[in-house]
Structures are given as C-alpha cells and as structure tokens.
Structure 1
C-alpha cells in the first residue's frame, strides 16, 4: 500500500486542522439549554436606560426612555438550541427565532409589528444575535460560564438618535 506524498499528507493534515477549527466555531454544544433569569446578578435595565438618555434634551428624553423601556424588557427565560445549520433562540413565550449560524439575516416581525433583519453568528466562542431596523440595531451576545451553569447576555443597542449606546447584561441560571 502506498502512502500519500509528503506534500499531500501535509495538505491533508492542514485540512483536518482547519475543519476542526471551523467545527469549533459552530459553537459550544453546552450552550444549548433553558435558562431562567437571575435578577440579583443582572443589571437594572431602567438604570442603564436612564444613563443612556440623560444627555438628551428634555423633550426627547421621555420619548426615548419610553421606547427603550418598551423594547428592552428583560427576558425571564431563554432557550437556545443549535445544529450546524441553524440556531434557535426562544425568549419568554415568544415564537422561536430560527437563523443560520453563518450570519445570514432573515426578516422577522416583532409582536408589535416592527420589522427587523435578524442574524446569528458564532464569534470568539460567543453566540451573537443581531437585530437591525431602520432606527438602529441591538446585539445580544450570549456567553456560557466555564461551569456551564450560567448564561450571560450582554445587550448593546445603538441608534443615531441616541447620544450613546444602551448597554446592559442579564444573567440566567441553567434550568
């Protein structure tokens, strides 16, 4: 039996390393599960909103505060499932959002009728879900603790209408 030439063997080895790296970027299988909010470990979203709008003029501030408060209600429950071809994230009693893990956006309509392009991708071992609308965007970055018992979601909301991004984190315990 004849072995591959040395250069072909090297290329084959590099292919295996690259395939392994691509597979690792698909995500951490332990991220899958159901998570319940830990209010005491999470940021106070209303305080984060106040910090974001404090520099706005007095006429725009209450409108911005109200809109941000309505669209940034802390999730009570998050369920994450994924395969190599799709990521499903379900929050509270909402319908699941199913996207490709490669960042390809889908069209999604929130319960209040606002339309978004939603995408999901794995970045540096974290699951990043992005909602883009005509007014701005929100990125939810999900990270699992080393022991697999806590999920942290960092939200980053940006808009040309805001003087600074709205940023907060929510911590969830695995059910």
Structure 2
C-alpha cells in the first residue's frame, strides 16, 4: 500500500504547526514556522510584513500577529516567487488516477509520458508586449507566440510537435497546445494583489479514459 502523499503530509502539518514569535529589537519581530520566517514591523499606522508564510498556517499566523499588535497589516513585501508545494496539487496522484483503467502495458507507457509532460516547474516567467507573449519555465527556452492567439509550431518537452497559442485577457493568460495525441490548456491567473500565479492545467487525449486536471501555485519573487 502506498504511503500518504508528501504534499498532504506537509499541508496537514502546517495546519497545526506552532508559530514561534521572537522579538528582535524595538518593534521588529520574527515569526518562525512552516513556509519560512516572517519579519514583522509594528507601528501606529499598521503592520509591515516581509514574506507571508503559507496558506495552511494562516490562522496561527493571524493569531501570532495579534499578539504583537492589534493594528491592520498595511504592507507586505515578498522576497521570492517559487513553486508552492503545499497549495499545489500532487501531479503523481492525478496521473495515477488517469491511467488506472488502462491495461498494464499501456498504463506504464502512459504514466511515463504523462510524468514527463507534467513536471512541477520550479519557476515561471511571463512577459508580454502588444505583439508577443513569452512564457519561460525553469531553464527551458521560452515559448513565444503572437499576442492575439495565432498558433505557432513548437516542440514540447517530450520532443513531440504541437501547435501552441497564447492569449492574455486581463489577469488571465490562456496557453493552448494541440496535437494528434490530444489537447492541453494552461490557464494562468494572477491574483489581484499580484503575489500569486496559479496555473490550472486541463489535458484531454483519446488514449485516456478521463480528463486530467490539476493546479500549480507560484509565489512572486521580488
């Protein structure tokens, strides 16, 4: 029997973990807990945070902040944007569910290919101009397409040839890949405060009995 997902273990642990408060000097303190340290500066006009921890620990963070000041959080400074393990889905579990109804030969083939096509990227960079959109993941060459959604020929991470297109509407970037093997859509949504980028993935293929869907969450690097 397989063990519990590491993502779920981390998330559950963070939901009950204690946040330690250490006063450094004057009105500067540090909160220590899941997701790294949070530096806190309190004052008459409100509170300034450097980093914000992770979502699963929000109730404990809120309680710790209340022990330092009853003022509102006025400013948040993020020092990095990276893949968030605890708020992202476990792609291995999603893939196992998608291939479980295939015969054992096809299951291994499909599992290997899907894992290659669905890595947990460590970093995503998005740039746009009136004429072009560019998306780069990790150290791979960027994908560049016309801004208005016209498709371009592109070679995927598994070496397969696909047609790729991207279109930006407000805070939503729709990235679409189509080939003879199926279709994948990555919907990137930027949070209103600009701190979080969520990629919602939807994949369909004639070789799979069900649609693959999952999300990956990224925090901004400043």
Structure 2 CA distance for aligned equivalents of residues 77 and 41 of structure 1: 15
Paired residue for 1:120, among 166, 181, 194? 166
Instruction: Report deviation, 1:84.
Output: 1.4
Of the two structures, which has the highest relative contact order with CA contacts closer than 8 Å and spacing of 6 or more? 1
CA offsets 1:81-129 (integer angstroms, 9 cap, x no match): 0011111000000001111121100011135431111000135741100
Mapping of residues 145-160 of structure 1, within 5 Å: 145-160=191-206
RMSD: 1.6
Match of 2:87 in 1: 41
CA distance change for structure 1 residues 168 and 40 in 2, over 3 Å: closer, same or farther?
A: same
Moved more, 45-54 or 122-131: 122-131
Specify every segment of 5 or more residues in structure 2 that has no aligned partner in the other structure, as ranges.
1-79
Q: TM-score, normalised by structure 2?
A: 0.60
Paired residue for 1:141, among 171, 182, 187? 187
Q: TM-score, normalised by structure 1?
A: 0.76
Bigger helix share: 1
Match of 2:66 in 1: none
CA offsets 1:45-79 (integer angstroms, 9 cap, x no match): 00011111122223321211111011111111000
Structure 2 CA distance for aligned equivalents of residues 38 and 172 of structure 1: 6
The answer (yes or no) to whether the contact 1:35–1:79 under 8 Å persists in 2 is no
Structure 2 CA distance for aligned equivalents of residues 134 and 126 of structure 1: 26
Structure 2 CA distance for aligned equivalents of residues 123 and 51 of structure 1: 32
The answer (yes or no) to whether the contact 1:138–1:157 under 8 Å persists in 2 is yes
For these two proteins, the number of residue pairs brought into alignment is 142
Task: Please tell me whether residue 132 in structure 1 is matched to residue 178 in structure 2.
Answer: yes
What SS does the aligned partner of 1:49 have?
Answer: helix
